[in-house]
Amino acid sequence: MRIFLDTADIDEIREVARWGILSGVTTNPTLMSKTSGKSHEAVIEEIASIVDGPISAETVSLEADGMLEEGRRFAKWHPNVVVKVPSTPAGWEAVSRFKKEGIRCNVTLCFSANQALFAALAGAYIISPFVGRLDDISEDGMQVVRDTVEIYRQHKLETLVLAASIRHPLHIIDAAKAGADIATVPFKVLEAAAKHPLTDKGLDLFLKDWQKFQASLKEAVPA
Ligand code: E4P
């Protein structure tokens, strides 16, 4: 399973890119609203200059024609741009039209396996089931990921399953076990998943013991 960052924050992207585990980035209007002073185009181009992988840029039109107009513009910014459209009939229409133009789509705001099936039939490159937002309303968000993976395998559909709306480190493990191709993870969750108290404790002990060893060498009287 590949890891994408779910952010438009350039510092976060630079940091995780250094870890050597980052394969792409997803953005959305909410994440873009947290950036300041730069245009949508400038932010996406800067991300693309850091990460060599799919960068999702989201449309805001509700009609297919508007999504097409926005997405064609986004696709000119960088070859790695993937156009995000919603899980609606207009979104699937846009996906099928984008496909004929060779523009890849990430179908977002997916909350059911039926929506995931329709996105794949329309020709989506990526489907994004939202795990956390379903958990928030007492539904099992990861079950949509499991069902989607099963349906795509059963029917040999090539759309990539991207587990989105990831809220905690266990979601990453569960998405990987469910067979998701990608998990898009907020920086804070990735940071929490990267840490383990026993790693920090072990490092501390090794460093102290190494210092003791060095000190003992200095104190040793030559024979
Ligand atoms: C990803 O593409 C989505 O925009 C994102 O994961 C949504 O996450 P949220 O539910 O935490 O806003």
The total domain count for the chain is 1
Structural domain contains residue 215: no
What spacing in Å lies between the alpha carbon of 147 and ligand 1's midpoint?
19
Structural domain contains residue 32: yes
122, with CB counted inside 10 A (0-12, 13-18, 19+), is buried
Nearest CA to ligand 1 atom 7: 165
Structural domain contains residue 44: yes
Question: What are the pLDDT digits (tens) for 50-78?
Answer: 999 999 999 999 999 999 999 999 999 99
Structural domain contains residue 207: no
Structural domain contains residue 115: yes
Return the C-alpha torsion angle 21, 27, 31, 34, nearest 10. 80
Structural domain contains residue 208: no
Confidence band for 36, pLDDT divided at 50, 70 and 90 = confident
- The H helix count followed by the E strand count for the chain is 11, 8
Structural domain contains residue 24: yes
Task: Specify the pLDDT at position 223.
Answer: 63
Confidence band for 174, pLDDT divided at 50, 70 and 90 = very high
**Which CATH number does the domain housing residue 115 bear?**
3.20.20.70
Catalytic residue (one of 84, 188, 195, 201): 84
Structural domain contains residue 135: yes
Higher pLDDT, 140 or 220: 140
Is 84 an active-site residue?
yes
Q: Which domain holds residue 51?
A: 2-195
